[in-house]
A and B are shown apart, each in its own frame.
Chain A
Amino acid sequence: MSTLQQPAGPPALTGPVPFLSKLHQWVATTDHKRLGVMYVTCGIVYLIIAGLEATMMRWQLAWPGQTVLTPDEFNRLFTMHGTTMVFFVGMPILFGTANFLIPLMIGARDLAFPRLNAFGFWLFLFGSILLYFSYFGGQGLYGMGSAPDVGWFAYAPLTERTFSRGHSTDYWILGIFVASIGSTLTAINLIATILGMRCRGMTLMKMPLLVWMMLVDCLLVVVALPPLAAAQIMLIFDRLLGAHFFDTQAGGSAILWQNLFWFFGHPEVYILILPAFAFVSEIIPVFSRKVIFGYPLMVAASVAIGFISVGVWAHHMFAVGMSPMINAIFMGSTMLVGVPTGIKMFNWVATMIGGKIRFDTPMLFSTGFLCQFLLAGLSGIWLATVPFDWAVSDSYFVVGHFHYVLFGGLLFAIMAAIYFWFPKVTGRMMNETLGKWQFWILIIGFNLTFGPMHVSGMLGMPRRIYTYHEDRGWELWNLLSSIGVAFQLVAFSLFAMNLLHSCFKGRRAGDDPWDAWTLEWSTTSPPPDYNFAEEPVVHSRRPLWDLKHPEDPDWKYE
């Protein structure tokens, strides 16, 4: 196993680097690690912005008949909150972590196309700035700001010129269009890297599960984002060039937009949640001190999810008036996706059982993910059941459901990943005490906010309403939801403090603080520019286990 020797540390710098040079190093970088850090940093900044947008909405809805926000302001906030969270929080954190981790995990020195990688990042950043510029320039006149107010799925014909004046919807189209080109290019780049640049010995079935799931994820990005870009081009043709694709007043089709959007939109949900699966698939084994249970089935389940997820989009449209047969078919395909997802849940739990679990912060967040994603999956089965969907579609039940997926699932897994890989990125540990406080306060705040939404939805509260009458029986549930936000604000403040403090003052981590098994832990923290002094050679899925346990190596059993 001489191939896994420690490489030399980073070359010593002589004298302080001037600020402009440092800035230039970051702006002009093509290094996958720096781009990864920039992606995740931007994602966290947008997370704060979109979180504050949501806080404003919960303030407005805490009691019936509040006047904190005007209807227009409220409608812009939920549009910007949704768009930001999906495109400018979820996507950059996914690409940031994939960027940072995949070359390290497969023993490569960078992505296949480093400059394309940098290009993708800047497209994402400027696309997001274009969207937020609409707050200042949305009406196209100086000082006449407004943001898009059409909802994150922007149903036609509300987005047509007749109903959406000014330029705010144009900014929504162009901002996401630009960012999605960047996402597609980066996904192609990652696929090329995974398929072409693995180190010696790493066959496809010896890749870490994170890499497998990111591969499926990137394939989904390549399949799903172009239809959205096409739909957006059609929409901007309608708005600026007088076309009539979605212009129902001139014979266009409102349902065509829904089909095109959800053909992107549903795979997008899996694009966002697969990285969460990827993170916990790496974290749970390390903290349970056990190899992942049923690796081949996990791979098969990921691929199955990828395939099935492009065939379920119309379950967002059960109330559109499709024929009963089509409704039933999409109900079947949607329920079917529960099977591979269930397999994953069982395998994670089976990995924990019989292990010797250490509940450090990453494991706490991963366990929180398991519990909350379980509930999200089950309420997903409810929603797939068409008659129940007719009762709660477009109600707060749906809002509760997808926040359990994307917040209770994805964001908890992202937190786990940040606590887990922060030492590798910075060379310093995050504070465990603060991390545990954050976890417990967040789990209370999260469930208090989004649990009651299921109830208010079943009591008949539609989503996207800026106010409600007090005689509908929704007051208690809305008040609870809003109180939960206060807990979340505390938890995220702790997180921000922890992140900033640990960047500069955290305890030194060393190369392998968690006693983990994948290749990234064999190099220094932070890794040198070239990642590995020598190209590693692996013989099993857990190269560092083999190194640490020469008497009982994995490759004997795989």
Chain B
Amino acid sequence: MVQFGCVNWSAGVLATAAPVCEPTGAMQPSMFNPAGAPAETILSITWLLVVICGAIAIVMFALIAYAAIRCRQTKGNDREPAQVYGSNPIELAWTVIPLLIVFLLFMVSARGIFDLQRSTPPDGALEVTVTGHRWWWEFDYGDLGVVTAGELHVPIDDGKPADLFLTLHSADVNHSFWVPQLGGKMDVIPNHTNYLWLQSNRTGTFVGQCAEYCGNQHANMLITVIVEPRADFEAWVANQQRDAVESDAVKAGHDIFLSTACINCHTVRGTVANGTFAPDLTHIMSRTTIGSGVVRNTPDMLREWVWDPQNIKPGCDMPSMKLTRDEVDLVCAYLETLK
């Protein structure tokens, strides 16, 4: 993150992290660059709104400008103007015409609602269960046996758009799942199941983030969706399905990890670490970001994160484990083998 000159009132909380932070991706989550049918439908309805409301605005501004320019009082002419109390035909016109416009808009948009809002998956869609946590996303691929965090991998076949059907749950408070280029948003509500259909017609990385205020780190609850060719996806799945690889070279870090409170919240499959409060770390190095997208997953950032996550994501649930710098290096050397 680039720092601009400003008074630092927060006792350097973010400042320590700032020099090592980097951009997390080049994509911009603009609704004007849709990548699939839901977002394209939304954009086409938007253009209809632009045309209709733009025309209304032009008419109204012209009338106001006419009144403001041509109907001013001039000096020496203080006779009162003709008093016009109303006109039934004119008033009827500007009651009925807006009603017709509203009717037209209603019909077009109602069709959009029924097209886009689905509670059953389209044929061939990838189905993923999303759980919103404060402040990260858990993605469960169901039968594929893959559980990951922050980054959603989606396969696409040549010449066919990739459908993605999400089942949305929350573990704590309200969140909202929003990747603007792939479709609309849907709230993620505890005790309530929602569904969301997204689609991409091309490979690429699409970003979004939580859209419902969920507390302290709402701003850093980011989403990355990676749409990749099916072969790449299958390789990714095969890798994710493996348990963590044990290696004697990083035994020291492995032992520190397993003997501290890390394992209460994190899972590393194949070890005793089976916590579920925080992201699964079995394949953490396969992810491009950490902290739900707050920073890139580089060796330096990983060390900063394990040293004290509160410097990077102040208020997040992970505390500093009070390890020494040497211990952090050992733990990170171990984490870096979790590919």
- A interface list, Cβ under 8 A from B: 59, 62-73, 75, 149, 151, 155, 157-158, 162-163, 248-249, 251-255, 288-291, 293-297, 319-321, 324, 327-328, 331-332, 335-336, 338-339, 342-343, 345-347, 349-350, 352-359, 367, 370-371, 374-375, 378-379, 381-382, 385-388, 390-395, 458-460, 462-473, 549, 552, 554, 557-558
Complex Cα spacing A354 to B67, Å: 7
Complex Cα spacing A466 to B215, Å: 11
The 7 closest A-B pairs by CB, nearest first: A390-B184, A460-B29, A65-B1, A465-B219, A352-B67, A248-B190, A294-B86
Residue contact B49 to A388, C-beta cutoff 8 Å: yes
Stretch in B2-10, B228-236, B238-246, B262-270 touching the partner:
B2-10
Residue contact B191 to A385, C-beta cutoff 8 Å: no
Chain B 199-212: CB-based contact to A (< 8 A → 1; otherwise 0):
00000000111111
Residue contact A385 to B105, C-beta cutoff 8 Å: yes
Given contacts A155-B174, A462-B209, contact A357 B98 (CB under 8 A): no
Q: Which of A70, A367, A473 contacts B28 (CB 8 A)?
A: A473
A131 to chain B: closest CB distance in Å?
19
* Interface membership of B315, Cβ < 8 A: yes
Q: Which of B24, B46, B80, B91 contacts A343 (CB 8 A)?
A: B91
Beta-carbon nearest neighbor of A378 in chain B: B53
Residue contact A387 to B180, C-beta cutoff 8 Å: no
Residues of chain B within 8 A (CB-CB) of A71 are: 216-217, 219, 314-315
Beta-carbon nearest neighbor of B49 in chain A: A382
Chain B 2-24: CB-based contact to A (< 8 A → 1; otherwise 0):
11101111100111001001011
Residue contact B63 to A353, C-beta cutoff 8 Å: yes
Query: Which B residues, 42 to 63, have Cβ-Cβ distances below 8 Å to chain A?
Result: 42, 45-46, 49, 53, 56-57, 60-61, 63
Complex Cα spacing A469 to B26, Å: 11
Complex Cα spacing A319 to B113, Å: 11
Among A62, A336, A393, residue most surrounded by chain B Cβ atoms (within 10 Å)? A393
Complex Cα spacing A465 to B294, Å: 13
6 cross-chain CB contacts under 8 A: A68-B7, A328-B109, A347-B91, A382-B53, A392-B31, A458-B30
A83 to chain B: closest CB distance in Å?
14
B112 to chain A: closest CB distance in Å?
4
Residue contact A462 to B28, C-beta cutoff 8 Å: no
Residues of chain B within 8 A (CB-CB) of A387 are: 41-42, 45, 109, 112-113, 116, 184
- B interface list, Cβ under 8 A from A: 1-4, 6-10, 13-15, 18, 21, 23-32, 39, 41-42, 45-46, 49, 53, 56-57, 60-61, 63-64, 66-68, 71-74, 77, 80-87, 90-91, 94-95, 98-99, 102, 105-106, 109-110, 112-114, 116-117, 134, 172-174, 176, 178, 180, 183-187, 189-192, 194-195, 207-220, 314-315
Residue contact A319 to B176, C-beta cutoff 8 Å: yes
B74 to chain A: closest CB distance in Å?
8
Residue contact A375 to B57, C-beta cutoff 8 Å: yes
Among B7, B66, B209, residue most surrounded by chain A Cβ atoms (within 10 Å)? B209
Complex Cα spacing A392 to B214, Å: 18
Residues of chain A within 8 A (CB-CB) of B209 are: 462, 465
Q: Which of B73, B87, B173 contacts A356 (CB 8 A)?
A: B73
Complex Cα spacing A163 to B6, Å: 31
Residue contact B86 to A390, C-beta cutoff 8 Å: no
Residues of chain A within 8 A (CB-CB) of B217 are: 71
Residues of chain B within 8 A (CB-CB) of A338 are: 98, 102
Residue contact A157 to B190, C-beta cutoff 8 Å: yes
Interface of B is mostly: loop
Complex Cα spacing A293 to B84, Å: 7
Residue contact B86 to A293, C-beta cutoff 8 Å: yes
Residue contact B213 to A339, C-beta cutoff 8 Å: no
Given contacts A385-B49, A472-B28, contact A354 B84 (CB under 8 A): yes
Residue contact A67 to B113, C-beta cutoff 8 Å: no
Given contacts A291-B83, A390-B184, A469-B23, contact A67 B57 (CB under 8 A): no
Residue contact B212 to A394, C-beta cutoff 8 Å: yes
Given contacts A157-B173, A335-B102, A381-B49, contact A66 B6 (CB under 8 A): yes
Residues of chain A within 8 A (CB-CB) of B9 are: 67-70
Among B80, B220, B314, residue most surrounded by chain A Cβ atoms (within 10 Å)? B80
Complex Cα spacing A293 to B45, Å: 35
B10 to chain A: closest CB distance in Å?
4
Given contacts A342-B98, A345-B60, A385-B109, contact A394 B84 (CB under 8 A): no
Complex Cα spacing A507 to B133, Å: 62
Please give 5 more A-B residue pairs, beta carbons under 8 A apart, in addition to A155-B173, A324-B114, A355-B81: A346-B91, A352-B71, A394-B211, A460-B30, A467-B220
Residue contact B2 to A65, C-beta cutoff 8 Å: yes
Residue contact A67 to B8, C-beta cutoff 8 Å: yes
The tally of CB-CB contacts under 8 A between chains A and B is: 319
Complex Cα spacing A63 to B232, Å: 37
Complex Cα spacing A68 to B11, Å: 10
Given contacts A352-B68, A458-B31, contact A386 B113 (CB under 8 A): yes
A422 to chain B: closest CB distance in Å?
22
Residues of chain A within 8 A (CB-CB) of B174 are: 155, 157-158, 254
Q: Which of B46, B113, B180 contacts A460 (CB 8 A)?
A: B180
Complex Cα spacing A356 to B191, Å: 61
Beta-carbon nearest neighbor of B212 in chain A: A394
Residues of chain B within 8 A (CB-CB) of A374 are: 57, 60-61
Residues of chain B within 8 A (CB-CB) of A354 are: 71, 81-82, 84
Residue contact B1 to A64, C-beta cutoff 8 Å: yes
Q: Which of B31, B41, B87, B173 contacts A163 (CB 8 A)?
A: B173
A328 to chain B: closest CB distance in Å?
5
Beta-carbon nearest neighbor of A552 in chain B: B83
Q: Which of A69, A356, A367 contacts B64 (CB 8 A)?
A: A367
Beta-carbon nearest neighbor of B293 in chain A: A469
Residues of chain A within 8 A (CB-CB) of B64 are: 349, 352, 367, 370-371
Complex Cα spacing A310 to B224, Å: 39
Residues of chain A within 8 A (CB-CB) of B14 are: 65, 67, 467
Q: Which of B81, B176, B195 contacts A394 (CB 8 A)?
A: B176
Q: Which of B7, B110, B134, B189 contacts A255 (CB 8 A)?
A: B189
A329 to chain B: closest CB distance in Å?
10
Residue contact A324 to B117, C-beta cutoff 8 Å: yes
Residue contact B219 to A388, C-beta cutoff 8 Å: no
Complex Cα spacing A66 to B219, Å: 13
Residue contact B29 to A394, C-beta cutoff 8 Å: no
Residues of chain B within 8 A (CB-CB) of A558 are: 85
Residue contact A297 to B211, C-beta cutoff 8 Å: no
Beta-carbon nearest neighbor of B52 in chain A: A381
Complex Cα spacing A320 to B117, Å: 12
Residues of chain A within 8 A (CB-CB) of B49 are: 381-382, 385, 388
Complex Cα spacing A367 to B56, Å: 17
Residues of chain B within 8 A (CB-CB) of A69 are: 9-10
Residues of chain A within 8 A (CB-CB) of B84 are: 290-291, 293, 350, 354
Residues of chain B within 8 A (CB-CB) of A355 are: 67, 71, 81
Residues of chain B within 8 A (CB-CB) of A297 are: 86, 91, 95
Residue contact A462 to B81, C-beta cutoff 8 Å: no
Residue contact B82 to A321, C-beta cutoff 8 Å: no
Residue contact A290 to B10, C-beta cutoff 8 Å: no
Complex Cα spacing A338 to B314, Å: 44
Given contacts A66-B6, A388-B45, A470-B1, contact A158 B213 (CB under 8 A): yes
Beta-carbon nearest neighbor of B73 in chain A: A356
